[in-house]
A = this chain, B = another copy of it.
Amino acid sequence: MAINPQTSALIMIDMQQGFIDERSSLWIAGAQASVPSCAQALEAARNVGMPIWHVRRSYSFDGSDVEPVRYQQWLQGDKPLCAEGPWPQSLEAPSELVALDSERLLVKPRFSAFFETDLHEQLQQEGITHVILIGTTTPNCIRSTGYDAISYNYDVTVLSDATSSRSEAVQAANIEDMATIGMTIMTAEEFAQALQG
C-alpha cells in the first residue's frame, strides 16, 4: 500500500496518561512501551507534511458519561480519570507525543474515533482517503476505529509497534484479524521508510 502524504492522515488515539500511567485503573500494559514508535510515526508524518489528528478520551468529572460497562473500573484508583480535575495529566499526552499547534485535536466519547464525532466530515473536507492508526488500545479503540474507517471506504494502515494491548497474545490476535479483513499492517519504521521512498 503506497502512502500519499497529501491524501493520508496519521491518527493517534488515546495516548494520554489515563491509559499510559500505571496509577490509572484504565492503564494498558503495553501503552508506555509504544511511545517511542508513536513518536517515530509522528516525526515521519511531520517531515512530509502529512496531517495529524490527536484523538483523546475525555469524560465528565462525575463519570456520568462513562460507558456503563466501564463505570465500575473507572471508579477505582485515582479519580477523576480522563477528566478535568485533580489529575489533569490523565487527559494529556506524554511529552514525546504532544500535539503541535498546527495539528488537529479531537475528543471522542467512546471507543471508535468516528463514533458520535465529526471525524469523517473532517477527513472528507481534507480529501483524506487513507488513515494510518497508532495509539491504544488495539482491541478496543484502534480496532473499532479501523472497522469504522473501512466501512467508510478509507484505506486503513495500522502500525503494529505503535499500538498496544493488555498482552502480547491479544495484540497479535487483533493484528491478525485486522490484516485478514484488509487493513495494512506495518511497523513505524516501515511507515517512515515508505514516506521517504
* A interface with B by C-beta (< 8 Å): 67-70, 110-112, 115-116, 139-140, 144, 147-148, 150-151, 153, 155-156, 166, 169-170, 173-174, 176-177, 180-183
Count of identical protomers in the assembly: 2
Which residues of the other chain, B, contact A180 by a CB distance below 8 angstroms? Answer: 139, 166
Could you write out 18 A-B pairs with CB less than 8 Å apart? A67-B151, A67-B153, A68-B150, A68-B155, A69-B155, A69-B181, A69-B183, A70-B181, A111-B147, A112-B148, A115-B148, A139-B181, A140-B181, A144-B144, A144-B147, A169-B173, A170-B173, A173-B173
Bound-state Cα–Cα, A177 to B182, Å: 20
A8 to chain B, nearest CB (A): 15
| Given A170-B173, A173-B170, A69:B112 Cβ within 8 A | no
| Given A144-B144, A173-B170, A112:B151 Cβ within 8 A | yes
Which residues of the other chain, B, contact A110 by a CB distance below 8 angstroms? Answer: 151
| Given A153-B68, A170-B173, A147:B181 Cβ within 8 A | no
Which residues of the other chain, B, contact A170 by a CB distance below 8 angstroms? Answer: 173, 176-177
Which residues of the other chain, B, contact A151 by a CB distance below 8 angstroms? Answer: 67, 110-112, 115-116
Bound-state Cα–Cα, A182 to B140, Å: 12
The residue of chain B having its C-beta at the shortest distance from the C-beta of A170 within the complex is B177
